[in-house]
């Protein structure tokens, strides 16, 4: 992803991509994470998330819930935060 876009435009683009993944489950899991944390992403975190959005939904969800091994490039504090799933609000 080019860094020629402003931070605001990059975040808008990522917001759309986060909420339009192709499956409802991925939309919720990835979109809610974006909504909770994106405004506070550092440049390094923003670059990480941009790379993550290029991956397939099934792989991202598998890495988050632990059904498939996560590549070393995505391991770390951001993936740890995604694995908590505490950013998803479920109405009762």
Domain segments of the chain as ranges: 7-84
Token look-up 């991509």 returns 17
Taking residues 24-53, what's their average pLDDT?
A: 96
* Tokens encoding 79: 């993936």
Quickly state the pLDDT bin for 92 (edges 50, 70, 90).
Answer: low
Is pLDDT at 1 greater than 50 in this prediction?
no
Q: Whole-model pTM?
A: 0.89
Assigned token pair, 24: 């409802």
Q: Determine the Cα–Cα distance for residues 64 and 52; give it in Å rounded to an integer.
A: 12
CATH 1.10.150.130 fits 7-84, yes or no: no
């Amino acid at each position: 992803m080019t860094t020629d876009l402003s931070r605001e435009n990059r975040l808008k683009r990522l917001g759309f991509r986060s909420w339009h993944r192709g499956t409802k489950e991925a939309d919720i899991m990835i979109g809610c994470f974006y909504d909770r944390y994106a405004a506070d992403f550092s440049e390094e975190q923003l670059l990480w998330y941009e790379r993550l959005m290029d991956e397939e939904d099934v792989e991202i969800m598998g890495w988050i819930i632990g059904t498939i091994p996560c590549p070393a490039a995505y391991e770390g504090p951001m993936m740890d935060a995604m694995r908590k799933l505490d950013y998803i609000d479920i109405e009762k």
